[in-house]
Structures are given as structure tokens and as C-alpha cells.
């Protein structure tokens, strides 16, 4: 798929200069058949973070959120820098 | 961020030929500082679908999953074609 190609390309460009750090990037794109329907992505965002927190320790101050709303497409992007210790306390 | 640029570019290329259909695309990329740590993305995948099902009606047969594992990065991609009636039964 196109998104995977994009990731592969951006990886190979960086080559050996990649900084070793824990990072999680989440992208949700919703293509709508009808215009101007209310978006559920803002609500979804909180639930996504809650789900992911089960697997990795997330510092909320390290989460950057980008929400783009268009006529036919909404895109939610979350960029999360993970703690050194990424195992959540259970 | 790069991902949003990619989405914008792929949108504008398609122009007016975009088919109006409901579609949800989810991408989770995890950059690891250490190599070969076990991935939680397969487990995360089921939970993501469960969370999203609260907002849109998902037919499991319309979900395609792509999981790529690399030394330093795992990528989980979900492509979901949504039903005509996208409001979930509550």
C-alpha cells in the first residue's frame, strides 16, 4: 500500500543517521462518502492513547496531536516520544 | 509532519476522480531504540478495531491487515472499508 511505501522510502533516505529513540506514530485517515458529517476522531484520539498505554508507558506531555478536517477526509495524527523505560507498570 | 504531507499529496493527485466511499485507514509505526524486542502490534491491532467499532460499524471481512516487522521499526496498517450505514448499533 501507499503508506507503507512512504515509510520505507523515508527510512532508507535516513540510512545510518537514524537516531535510536523510541517513538510511536499513529495515523488515522477517514474518507467520508458524505460531506460535513461530524467527526468522531477527537473522541477516538483519547481512546487510542488509552489502549496504547496498556502496552507502552506514555507521558502525555510527549504526545503531539494533529487533526486535519476536510470536506471528505479527516486525518488524525499522533506522535508520541516514548520513555526510556517503555514497559508499562501493570 | 511527513505523513500528513504524503496524504495531502496523494489526495491532490487523485483530484475529482476520487470515488466517494467510506474508508478508514490506520497506521501505527513504532521506532525502537533496541533491536528485536517483541512486538505488541499484533495484540494492539484487535484492541484498535474494538475501539473504532464504538464509532463506526466495522465488518471484519472488510478489514485488511498488514504488519511489517523490521530491526528497528514495526508498522501496522489497517485498511477498513466501512458499511454504507456507518453508525454503530448502540
User: What is the share, in percent, of chain B residues with pLDDT greater than 70?
Assistant: 67
- Domain coordinates of chain A in residue numbers? 18-81
**Chain B environment of A34 (Cβ under 8 Å):** 20
CB contact under 8 A, B3 and A1: no
Q: Is B11 on the interface with A (CB under 8 A)?
A: yes
Residue B65: per-residue pLDDT:
92
The arrangement of secondary structure in B18-81, i.e. its CATH architecture, is 2-Layer Sandwich (3.30)
Q: What is the pLDDT of residue B33?
A: 79
Using a CB–CB cutoff of 8 Å, tell me whether A87 touches chain B.
Answer: no
- pLDDT score of A65: 92
Backbone dihedral region for residue A36 (phi beyond 0: left; psi -120 to 50: alpha; all else: beta): left
Q: Which residue of B has its CA nearest to A25?
A: B29
Whole-number Å distance between alpha carbons of B73 and A10 = 12
Please give the average per-residue pLDDT across A47-63, as a whole number.
90
Residues B32-76 pLDDT 10s:
877 766 778 888 999 999 999 998 888 889 999 998 888 888 889
Lowest mean pLDDT, pick from A11-15, A43-47, A50-54, A58-62: A11-15
Q: How far is B27 from chain A (nearest CA, A)?
A: 5
Contact residues, chain B, for A65 at CB < 8 Å:
none
Amino acid at each position: 500500500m501507499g503508506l507503507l511505501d512512504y515509510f520505507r522510502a523515508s527510512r532508507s533516505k535516513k540510512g545510518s543517521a537514524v537516531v535510536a529513540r523510541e517513538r510511536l506514530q499513529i495515523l488515522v485517515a477517514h474518507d467520508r462518502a458524505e460531506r460535513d458529517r461530524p467527526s468522531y476522531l477527537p473522541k477516538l484520539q483519547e481512546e487510542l492513547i488509552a489502549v496504547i498505554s496498556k502496552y507502552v508507558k506514555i507521558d502525555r506531555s510527549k504526545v503531539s496531536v494533529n487533526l486535519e478536517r476536510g470536506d471528505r477526509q479527516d486525518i488524525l495524527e499522533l506522535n508520541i516520544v516514548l520513555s526510556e523505560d517503555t514497559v508499562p507498570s501493570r
